[in-house]
């Protein structure tokens, strides 16, 4: 069966170059509790349901140690809820401002739609958060055919495959072979792998790369190339079927359907072996 559905992530993939909004919100929310985190530590679980993300950060050895020193006890479920409330407060404060399209999104999505593909999406954001992100993206010219949040699948967000399955239900896909998942985090790749679909990673402006648009533009062409290659290697180590620099490169690959067929054959061969 030919591929007919592309399921895209949001922050770091189609909007918010560098996935900056959630990083800053997590950092400030943990600072409220006296915990200092690096951007790299915050980004490692990126793409998960946000409460699960917080639990992952609280499970870090250095955080557990800091928490006991500060509060005299291990963190509890009530602390997760408290941090999440602060996270939401900081995220909503500047979510619209940090939901602008990545530079190539509008042109790439127009081309992909012209090629006849369905465009679905998954996210780590809640439905309420996505209402803000979607409206900003829509005003700038991007509106996928379908949006699924963890709220739509009983909070079983990434790396669970259920948001992908919900997209497939909507588009009436008959087979995993009709679907490609595209994202900018390791969690996106795991989501695609767990769903049994082709998983493609975007390197430029990804959370995994971790640079803002201004920081990225400040690099030389050689530095950009080296950083994209290093980021791609990390994705391939986690099972990505393909890495692209940006969404325009993805659109070119989708136009050349023989490339997708080769990826599918390679995936089948890997499963057989």
pLDDT in tens, 89-136: 999 998 999 999 999 999 999 999 999 999 999 999 999 999 999 999
For residue 50, indicate whether it is catalytic.
Answer: yes
CATH number of the domain that residue 32 is part of: 1.10.150.240
Residue 207 and residue 131 share a domain: yes
User: Considering the entire predicted model, what is its pTM?
Assistant: 0.90
Q: What is the pLDDT of residue 264?
A: 80
Residue 113 and residue 235 share a domain: yes
Residue 228 and residue 193 share a domain: yes
Residue finishing a domain among 73, 94, 115: 94
Residue 146 CB contacts under 8 Å (≥ 6 apart), including other chains: 118, 119, 120, 121, 167, 170, 171
Residues at the binding site are 9, 11, 184
Mean pLDDT of the chain: 95
**46-64 residue pLDDT tens:** 988 899 999 999 999 999 9
Residue 96 CB contacts under 8 Å (≥ 6 apart), including other chains: 132, 133, 135, 136
pLDDT at 139 over 90: yes
Please tell me the total count of domains within the chain: 2
Per the residue annotation, which of 9, 86, 188, 241 is the catalytic one? 9
The dihedral region occupied by 18, where left means phi > 0, alpha psi between -120 and 50, and beta the remainder, is left
Residue 189 and residue 260 share a domain: yes
pLDDT at 10 over 70: yes
Q: What is the pLDDT of residue 24?
A: 94
Q: What is the pLDDT of residue 268?
A: 73
pLDDT at 262 over 90: no
Q: 28-32, 144-148, 174-178, 259-263: which has the minimum mean pLDDT? A: 259-263
For residue 27, indicate whether it is catalytic.
Answer: no
Residue 251 and residue 206 share a domain: yes
Q: Average the pLDDT over 184-189 and give the result.
A: 96
Q: What is the pLDDT of residue 259?
A: 78
**8 Å CB contact between 181 and 195:** yes
Q: Average the pLDDT over 225-237 and give the result.
A: 97
**8 Å CB contact between 141 and 115:** no
Residue finishing a domain among 94, 119, 150: 94
Residues at the binding site for Mg(2+) are 9, 11, 184
Residue finishing a domain among 60, 94, 128: 94
Residue 68 and residue 55 share a domain: yes
Please write down the HEC assignment for all residues of the chain.
CCCCEEEECCECCCECCCCHHHHHHHHHHHHCCCCCCCHHHHHCCCCCCHHHHHHHHHCCHHHHHHHHHHHCCCCCHHHHHHHHHHHHHHHHHHCCCCCCECCCHHHHHHHHHHCCCEEEECCCCCHHHHHHHHHHHHHCCCCCCCCCCHHHHCCCCCCCCHHHHHHHHHHCCCCHHHEEEEECCHHHHHHHHHHCCEEEEECCCCCCCCCCHHHHHCCCHHHHHHHHHHHHHHHHHCCCCEEECCHHHHHHHHHCHHHHHHHHHHHHHHHHC
Residue 176 and residue 62 share a domain: no
Q: Average the pLDDT over 193-220 and give the result.
A: 96
Residue 236 and residue 115 share a domain: yes
Residue 27 and residue 9 share a domain: no
Residue 267 and residue 152 share a domain: yes
Q: What is the pLDDT of residue 271?
A: 67
- 85: domain range? 20-94
Residue 77 and residue 142 share a domain: no
pLDDT tier, 272 (very low <50, low <70, confident <90, very high otherwise): low
Q: Is the peptide bond before 159 cis (omega within 30 degrees of 0)?
A: yes
Q: What is the pLDDT of residue 106?
A: 97
pLDDT at 269 over 90: no
Per the residue annotation, which of 50, 55, 181, 245 is the catalytic one? 50
Q: What is the pLDDT of residue 19?
A: 94
């Amino acid at each position: 069966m030919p591929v007919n559905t592309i399921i895209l992530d949001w922050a770091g993939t189609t909007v918010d170059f560098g996935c900056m909004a959630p990083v800053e919100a997590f950092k400030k929310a943990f600072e409220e509790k006296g915990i200092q985190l690096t951007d790299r530590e915050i980004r490692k679980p990126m793409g998960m349901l946000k409460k699960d993300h917080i639990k992952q950060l609280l499970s870090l050895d250095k955080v557990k140690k800091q928490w006991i020193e500060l509060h005299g006890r291990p963190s509890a479920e009530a602390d997760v809820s408290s941090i999440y409330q602060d996270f939401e407060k900081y995220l909503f404060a500047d979510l619209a401002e940090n939901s602008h399209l990545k530079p190539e999104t509008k042109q790439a999505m127009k081309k992909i739609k012209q090629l006849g593909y369905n465009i679905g999406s998954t996210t780590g954001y809640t439905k309420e958060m996505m209402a803000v992100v979607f409206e900003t993206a829509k005003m700038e010219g991007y509106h996928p055919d379908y949006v699924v949040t963890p709220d739509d699948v009983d909070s079983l967000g990434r790396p669970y495959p259920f948001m992908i399955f919900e997209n497939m239900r909507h588009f009436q896909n008959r087979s995993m072979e009709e679907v490609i998942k595209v994202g900018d985090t390791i969690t996106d790749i795991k989501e695609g792998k767990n769903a049994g679909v082709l998983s493609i990673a975007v390197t430029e402006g990804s959370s995994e790369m971790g640079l803002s648009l201004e920081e990225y533009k400040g690099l030389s062409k050689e530095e950009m190339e080296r950083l994209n290659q290093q980021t791609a290697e990390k994705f391939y180590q986690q099972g990505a079927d393909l890495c692209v620099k940006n969404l325009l490169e993805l659109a070119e690959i989708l136009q050349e359907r023989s490339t997708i067929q080769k990826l599918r054959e390679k995936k089948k061969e890997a499963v057989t072996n």
